């Protein structure tokens, strides 16, 4: 039937050309039509889909079923945004926008168009994170000059007081010293944002990096947490700075461990994969840059509050009681300086930090300085 009109008089060849899943559901809720993208979306051919009702393809109790009934009763099209259709059939991260419309010529029939959350949306969000991080650069430089010098004087005065005051007041003098050190440490962390030197990058085996991070975690903050590794052994090297990658993934694993806390059955999953087809335009570069390497850190903690997800990589945003909110902002900066992307998908008991990065190529060594400068000037977090 491909290329011909189907029984409902819909030109299949036109609907197949639409790069979004489109289905038609009859009055009995059986699938009457599905274009090629819908077959891929539901992971079944039209002949199989036609033997299923809509509710058989969706998660149990999906609100989409109520939307379909609403359209049938009112005969008015409806748009629903960010609908969660995650399921074993559709995958664990299936967030879509849905357009539902009645079919006037067929009473009870409705057409549904699904728009999946695209990589373009994630890239756009990443650009926002990087813009926020740039604002910290100037703030860090100002703090280093205007705050660290007087703090040094305050700390010195507190140390002198500690030697001459009574035992009761000595604890207060020690508190001043400790809090001064804490503020200096915070300013030092912010100063990293103003470092715009070109990154020294080489071919890095990501599995060696992840094994190193895992060893640190198991001997410290994550000793009671189970680690699971799902690596692609044929993965090519990543074009990156090894020490900075260790810093990135140590931060992500530490966050995962803190999210899990002391709960039983805590688990952190580290995955690597090759995902061809992801290409982005880096400012200052003539060609689109491929980001085929995907590295993920997943935990089964409580998840990130939905209202915080769009701002998770912004400076000073944190869910921790005593957190500075600079850890993930620094992670976003480092990945951005490498020309990569980081994104978080979260739901209860399943939070994934996904990093996409460029692979090392033979000609990277000769072009390393140029690409580093491009990343720092035009695509910096």
The pLDDT of residue 375: 36
Separation of alpha carbons 100 and 26, rounded Å: 13
Rounded to an integer, what distance in angstroms lies between the CA atom of residue 351 and that of residue 343? 11
Measured CA to CA, the distance from residue 250 to residue 244 in angstroms comes to 10
Give the pLDDT of the chain (381 residues) as one tens digit per residue: 443 344 444 466 777 777 789 999 999 999 999 998 899 889 888 889 999 999 999 988 888 999 999 999 999 998 887 788 888 888 777 788 889 999 988 999 999 999 876 555 555 555 555 555 555 555 555 555 566 667 777 888 888 888 888 887 888 888 888 878 877 766 666 555 555 667 789 999 999 999 999 998 998 889 999 999 999 999 999 999 998 899 899 999 999 999 999 888 999 999 999 987 666 655 445 556 678 899 999 999 998 888 787 778 876 666 655 555 677 888 888 888 888 889 888 888 899 999 999 898 876 654 443 333 333 333 333
At residue 114, φ and ψ (nearest 5 deg) are -105, 135
Set out the domains of the chain in order of their start, with CATH numbers: 12-117 (3.30.450.20), 120-193 (1.10.287), 198-378 (3.30.565.10)
Please list the alpha-helical segments (H only) found in 200-343.
Answer: 206-218, 242-260, 327-337
In degrees and rounded to multiples of 5, residue 83 shows phi and psi of: -85, 130
Are 206 and 235 within 8 A, CB to CB? yes
pTM of the model: 0.53
Classify burial at 366, counting beta carbons within 10 Å of its beta carbon; exposed 0-12, middle 13-18, buried 19 or more. Answer: exposed
Helix (H) or strand (E) holding 78: strand 78-84
Contact 184, 151 (CB under 8 A): yes
The answer to whether residues 249 and 207 touch, using CB atoms and an 8 Å cutoff, is no
Q: For position 332, what pLDDT does the model report? A: 87
Pairwise CA distance, residues 336 & 274, whole Å = 19
Strand partners, 164: none
* Per-residue model confidence (pLDDT) at position 81: 77
Token pair for 257 = 């461990």
Look at strands 226-230 and 267-274 and give their pairing: parallel
DSSP per residue, 95-162 = EEEEEEEE-TTSTT-EEEEEEEPPHHHHHHHHHHHHHHHHHHHHHHHHHHHHTHHHHHHHHHHHHHHH
Largest Cα–Cα distance in the chain?
A: 95
pLDDT at 6: 45
């Amino acid at each position: 039937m491909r290329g011909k009109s189907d029984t409902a008089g819909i030109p299949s060849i036109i609907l197949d050309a639409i790069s979004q899943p489109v289905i038609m559901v009859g009055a009995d809720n059986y699938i009457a039509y599905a274009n090629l993208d819908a077959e891929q979306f539901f992971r079944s051919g039209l002949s199989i889909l036609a033997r299923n009702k809509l509710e058989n393809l969706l998660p149990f109790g999906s609100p989409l079923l109520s939307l379909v009934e609403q359209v049938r009763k009112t005969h008015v099209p409806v748009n629903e945004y960010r609908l969660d259709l995650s399921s074993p059939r559709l995958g664990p991260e299936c967030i879509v926008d849905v357009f539902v419309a009645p079919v006037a010529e067929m009473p009870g029939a409705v057409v549904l168009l699904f728009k999946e959350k695209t990589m373009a949306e994630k890239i756009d969000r990443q650009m926002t994170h990087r813009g926020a991080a740039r604002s910290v650069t100037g703030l860090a430089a100002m703090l280093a000059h205007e705050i660290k010098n007087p703090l040094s004087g305050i700390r010195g005065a507190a140390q002198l007081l500690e030697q001459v005051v009574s035992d009761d007041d000595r604890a207060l003098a020690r508190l001043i010293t400790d809090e001064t050190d804490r503020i200096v440490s915070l300013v030092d962390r912010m100063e990293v944002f103003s470092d715009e030197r070109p990154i020294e990058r080489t071919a890095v085996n990501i599995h060696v990096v992840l094994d190193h991070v895992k060893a640190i975690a198991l001997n410290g903050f994550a000793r009671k947490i189970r680690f699971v590794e799902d690596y692609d052994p044929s993965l090519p090297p990543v074009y990156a700075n090894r020490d900075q990658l260790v810093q990135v993934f140590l931060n992500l694993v530490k966050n995962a461990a803190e999210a899990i806390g002391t709960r039983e059955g805590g688990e952190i999953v580290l995955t690597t994969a090759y995902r061809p087809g992801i290409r982005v335009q880096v400012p200052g570069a003539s060609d689109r840059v491929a980001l085929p390497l995907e590295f993920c850190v997943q935990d089964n903690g409580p998840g990130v509050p939905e209202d915080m997800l769009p701002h998770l990589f912004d400076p000073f945003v944190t869910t921790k009681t005593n957190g500075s909110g600079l850890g993930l902002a620094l992670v976003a900066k480092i990945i951005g300086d490498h020309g990569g992307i980081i994104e978080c998908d979260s739901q209860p008991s399943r939070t994934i930090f996904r990093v996409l990065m460029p692979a090392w190529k033979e000609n990277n060594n000769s072009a390393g300085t140029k690409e580093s400068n491009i990343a720092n000037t035009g695509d910096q977090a």
